[in-house]
Amino acid sequence: MVFQNYALYPHMTVFRNIAFGLRAAKLPKAEIETRVREAAAILELSELLERRPAELSGGQRQRVAMGRAIVREPEVFLFDEPLSNLDAQLRSQMRTEITKLHQKVRTTVIYVTHDQIEAMTLADRIVIMRDGHIQQIGTPTQVYEEPANMFVARFIGSPAMNMLNARVTTQDDRLMLALEDGTVLPVPARANGRLHEGAAVVAGVRPDDLFAQRGSAVGEGHWPLPATAAVVEPLGPESLVHATIAGQNVIAKAHGRDVPAVGESLTFACVLDHLHAFDAATERAIC
């Protein structure tokens, strides 16, 4: 197990911290020496074996904690939010280190985290839980593209999926999602046969599938939603544009370095193939 707070013995050197479990198991000294130095080499700690925890950075301490687990040669690792005590830059670096470590040792890792970026970047399979109950199990791509319910849809993805209250209606013999202000969206083709007129639903669209643009013309497979920029967050190659649609806050992405102005009238182009619908009562995914 690798703990959130490292749980290192402050009076022991890095070598002795890593070797502690092996010494407690009374393994031969030569085997302890070999295992510790092999783990230290994998974790790039070979030059730090005589230092104490107080002389290490947060990332180095976390690697010592991982080394202590590696030398036990377990069948399964349990990582309990190991990066939550680190700053953002170090967390990013340690995610890469953990990925490299897993590629080397090829041992099953159960990784517990509240950080959806860690889950998406590190996992082969994700188990999303809420109040002790499993909400969905799948690959990162599956839980991102096919969320089982609104909780999963909001949890996975940053910024979170936009949610718009709607009701199914008919327009020109076609089922549409009517928002609370009268704005309409087509019902996704993959929802055919799953929705009926009058049903209360929640339409979901990720900011990655909602593009803020000037002008009302949109490309094939997109649907226009008129919006006025309320808050703009420039991120360099793109910007996050906040607006209110049907009385609800919506975030879209504007690509490029030409940042929209606050108060500017825009069109949010929605990618219809990536539009989701959830049952308003159960919050379960319809499509």
- Separation CA 30–CA 23 (nearest Å): 11
Q: Which amino acid is at 236?
A: G
In a domain, 157, yes or no: no
116 in the same domain as 172: no
268 domain residue, yes or no = yes
Mean pLDDT of 224-247: 95
| Residue 286 pLDDT exceeds 90 | yes
Contact 44, 80 (CB under 8 A): no
Residue 192, CA distances (Å) to 3, 150, 189 in order: 48, 20, 6
Structure tokens at 213: 């643009």
Residue 41 in any domain: the answer is yes
CATH number for the domain harbouring residue 187: 2.40.50.140
Q: Does 6 have pLDDT greater than 90?
A: no
Residue found by looking up tokens 């199990």 in the block: 137
**Same domain? 22 vs 118:** yes
pLDDT at 44 exceeding the cut of 90: no
Residue 279 has pLDDT above 90, yes or no: yes
Q: Compute the distance between CA of residue 150 and CA of residue 134 in angstroms, rounded to an integer.
A: 14
- Contacts for 19 with CB less than 8 Å, ≥ 6 apart: 32, 35, 36, 71
Do 220 and 119 sit in the same domain of this protein?
Answer: no
> Which pLDDT score is estimated for 87?
82
pLDDT in tens, 103-152: 888 899 999 999 999 999 999 999 999 999 999 999 999 999 999 999 99
Q: What pLDDT digit, counting tens, does each position of 83-98 carry?
A: 887 788 878 888 888 8
Does 260 fall in a domain?
Answer: yes
Question: At 24, which CATH number?
Answer: 3.40.50.300
Residues 98 and 197 in one domain: no
Amino acid at 96: T
Residue where a domain stops, chosen among 108, 124, 140 = 124
Same domain, 169 and 120: no
CA dist list (Å): 50 to 28, 39, 77, 232: 20, 15, 26, 51
> Is residue 186 located within the same domain as residue 265?
yes
Asked whether residue 67 is assigned to any structural domain, the reply reads: yes
What pTM was estimated for this model as a whole?
0.85
Under 8 Å between Cβ of 6 and 19: no
Same domain, residue pair 102 and 167: no
Q: What is the DSSP letter of 287?
A: -
99 and 172 in a common domain:
no
Residue 271: give the domain boundaries: 162-279
Per mean pLDDT, which range of 10-24, 76-90, 153-167, 227-241 is the poorest? 76-90
For residue 90, the surrounding DSSP H or E stretch is helix 88-105
Domains: count for the chain: 2
User: Has residue 33 got a pLDDT over 90?
Assistant: yes
Residue finishing a domain among 65, 98, 124: 124
Residue that is last in its domain, among 124, 153, 185? 124
Residue 195 lies in a domain: yes
Residue 227 has pLDDT above 90, yes or no: yes
**Is the domain of 69 the same as that of 115?**
yes
Based on the fold, state whether residues 112 and 171 are members of the same structural domain.
no
Instruction: Say if residue 103 is in the same domain as residue 192.
Output: no
Q: Give the chain's mean pLDDT.
A: 93
* Tokens standing for residue 192: 């055919």
Q: Are residues 36 and 110 in the same domain?
A: yes
Q: Classify residue 3: in a domain, yes or no.
A: no
